[in-house]
């Protein structure tokens, strides 16, 4: 921090604060005599560099902003990260806020209380559990005291902690995504000023091949279902591409037999949609309605995802199919539509995807024949 003062002392030293019963005095940063805060004409934010503990044989340097809060008349510090250019940009922004008088201090809260508050505000029981587990793992890996003490180095140590426990890249990225969400909300709630993960570089995951069942595997799976309810659920998933949670929460009052469609709610993208039903699905749902009408929905008696997974895994083993999850039925639906030439936008709407990026991977097989023809043409030309 640099001060312009009514003092001529130019020695080098760190500024200090001295309280007296009458007035508050601050020592000049250059080490000179004491002066009152009223004598400060201009303040400037400092950028301070700090080195964290060595990681993989190298020291990590982080940048911090230091300034005197005009309202509280005390030193303030803010962690920015490892990017010097970002630190410079934050410095300019903070100086403008100090000049305009809009700079506000961070709210104080312990990490344990912040984690409990954040988890309580997360919508959905499944997401709530994932957030709680991630923040608990982060506490075990680094034991942060408050959200404002979380640094870029703490996040790196958390990644190392996950790697030591043999977590895959997809799992690590998932945990970091939950942590990033929590830190972003900490910024919005005023607990921290800057998200330490703002400059985080995400590790690229290996692209997995889309698992789609063949016609023979679909027939075997349906034959292996030991109850009419499970068989109906598998068929509806194969013919509509609905997610597991969408089927478990489906209510009879949202099934329109006259127009052969179902109104799907509780979607992942938070967008309700009408899902067309094929003739076979309508017939099986009609048969199931009498026995499940009291439950309120065709599949509500299954109640939990874990119970359904046990029933489905048992059917997969009985059918002799190599590794198949319930979500593969949704992938099979999208792949079947792509194979028969359905427009990509139509597939996106039927599957309820929020973007075309996910839908595009089901159309990769369309490019294969075109690539093969191009290579054959080059071979014939060369020959």
- pLDDT in 10s for each residue of the chain, 383 residues: 343 333 334 334 444 443 433 334 444 444 444 344 444 434 578 888 887 765 556 677 888 888 877 766 677 777 787 888 888 888 888 888 777 776 666 678 899 999 999 999 988 776 888 899 999 999 999 888 888 888 888 999 999 999 999 998 989 999 999 999 999 999 888 888 788 888 888 888 776 667 889 999 999 999 999 999 999 999 999 999 999 989 999 999 999 999 999 999 888 878 889 999 999 999 999 999 989 999 999 998 887 888 888 999 999 999 999 889 999 999 899 888 888 888 888 988 888 888 777 777 766 655 565 566 667 766 666 65
Let me know whether 67 and 146 are in one domain.
Answer: no
- Phi then psi for 47, rounded to 5 degrees? -105, 125
Residue 193 counted as domain residue: no
> How many structural domains does the chain have?
3
Residue 344 counted as domain residue: no
What pLDDT sits at residue 382?
61
Task: Specify the CATH number for the domain of residue 277.
Answer: 1.10.443.10
Last residue of a domain, one of 66, 100, 134: 100
Residue 240 counted as domain residue: yes
Q: Hey, what are 55's tokens?
A: 């990681």
What secondary structure, in 3-state letters, does the chain show?
CEEECCCCCCCCCCCCEEECCCCEEEECCCCCCEEEHHHCCEEECEEEEEECCCECCECCEEEEEEEEECCCCEEEEEEEECCHHHHHHHHHHHHHHHHHCCCCCCCCCCHHHHHHHHHHHCCCHHHHHHHHHHHHHHHHHHCCCCHHHCCHHHHHHHHHHHHHCCCCHHHHHHHHHHHHHHHHHHHHCCCCCCCCCCCCCCCCCCCCCCCCCCHHHHHHHHHHCCCHHHHHHHHHHHHHCCCHHHHHCCCHHHEECCCCEEEECCCCCCCCEEEECCHHHHHHHHHHHHHHHHHCCCCHHHCCHHHHHHHHHHHHHHHCCCCCCCHHHHHHHHHHHHHCCCCHHHHHHHHCCCCHHHHHHHHHHHHHHHHHHHHHHHHHHHC
Instruction: Please choose, from the candidates 29, 35, 43, 44, the residue with its C-alpha nearest in 3D space to the C-alpha of residue 6.
Output: 35
What pLDDT sits at residue 379?
66
Let me know whether 227 and 317 are in one domain.
Answer: yes
Let me know whether 67 and 13 are in one domain.
Answer: yes
What pLDDT sits at residue 2?
40
Let me know whether 94 and 131 are in one domain.
Answer: no
Rounded CA separation 56/277 (Å): 56
Let me know whether 281 and 237 are in one domain.
Answer: yes
Contact by Cβ (8 Å): 193, 94: no
Rounded CA separation 338/5 (Å): 73
What pLDDT sits at residue 93?
83
What pLDDT sits at residue 7?
34
What pLDDT sits at residue 43?
58
Let me know whether 319 and 228 are in one domain.
Answer: yes
What pLDDT sits at residue 241?
92
Q: Hey, what are 51's tokens?
A: 């080195």
Contact by Cβ (8 Å): 128, 119: yes
Let me know whether 183 and 84 are in one domain.
Answer: no
Q: pTM for the complete prediction?
A: 0.57
| Domain, as residue range, for 44 | 2-100
Contact by Cβ (8 Å): 243, 267: yes
What pLDDT sits at residue 48?
85
Let me know whether 119 and 175 are in one domain.
Answer: yes
Residue 305 counted as domain residue: yes
What pLDDT sits at residue 39?
45
Residue 360 counted as domain residue: no
Sign of the dihedral defined by the CA atoms of residues 231, 126, 155, 46, in that order: positive
Rounded CA separation 170/173 (Å): 5
What pLDDT sits at residue 71?
65
Let me know whether 231 and 313 are in one domain.
Answer: yes
By CB atoms closer than 10 A (0-12, 13-18, 19+), residue 285 is buried
């Amino acid at each position: 921090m640099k001060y312009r003062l009514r003092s001529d002392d130019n020695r080098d030293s760190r500024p200090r604060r001295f309280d007296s019963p009458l007035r508050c005095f601050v020592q000049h940063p250059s080490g000179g005599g004491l002066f009152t805060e009223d004598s400060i004409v201009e303040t400037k934010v400092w950028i301070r560099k700090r080195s964290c503990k060595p990681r993989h044989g190298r020291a990590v340097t982080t940048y911090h902003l230091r300034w005197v809060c005009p309202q509280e008349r005390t030193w303030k510090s803010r962690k920015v990260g490892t990017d010097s250019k970002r630190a410079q940009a934050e410095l300019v922004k903070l100086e403008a806020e100090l000049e305009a008088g809009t700079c506000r201090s961070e709210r104080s809260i312990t990490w344990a209380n912040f984690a409990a508050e954040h988890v309580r505000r997360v919508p959905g029981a499944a997401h709530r559990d994932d957030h709680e587990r991630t923040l608990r793992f982060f506490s075990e890996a680094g034991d942060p005291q408050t959200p404002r003490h979380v640094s870029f180095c703490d996040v790196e140590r958390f990644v190392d902690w996950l790697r030591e426990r043999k977590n895959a890249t997809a799992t690590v990225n998932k945990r970091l995504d939950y942590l990033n969400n929590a830190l972003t909300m900490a910024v919005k709630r005023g607990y921290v000023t800057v998200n330490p993960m703002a400059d985080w570089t995400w590790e690229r995951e290996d692209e997995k091949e889309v698992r789609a069942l063949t016609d023979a595997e679909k027939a075997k799976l349906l034959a292996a279902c030991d109850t009419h309810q499970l068989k109906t659920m598998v068929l509806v998933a194969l013919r509509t591409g609905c997610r597991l949670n969408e089927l478990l929460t489906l209510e009879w009052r949202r099934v329109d037999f006259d127009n052969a469609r179902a109104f799907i709610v509780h979607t992942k993208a938070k967008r309700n949609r009408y899902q067309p039903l094929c003739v076979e699905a309508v017939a099986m749902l009609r048969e199931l309605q009498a026995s499940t009408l009291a439950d309120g929905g065709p599949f509500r008696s299954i109640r939990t995802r874990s119970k359904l997974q046990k029933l489905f895994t048992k059917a997969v083993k009985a059918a002799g199919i190599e590794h198949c999850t319930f979500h593969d039925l949704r992938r099979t639906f999208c792949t079947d539509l792509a194979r028969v030439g359905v427009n990509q936008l139509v597939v996106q709407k039927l599957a309820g995807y929020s973007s075309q990026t996910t839908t595009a991977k089901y159309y990769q097989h369309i490019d294969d024949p075109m690539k093969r023809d191009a290579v054959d043409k080059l071979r014939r030309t060369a020959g």
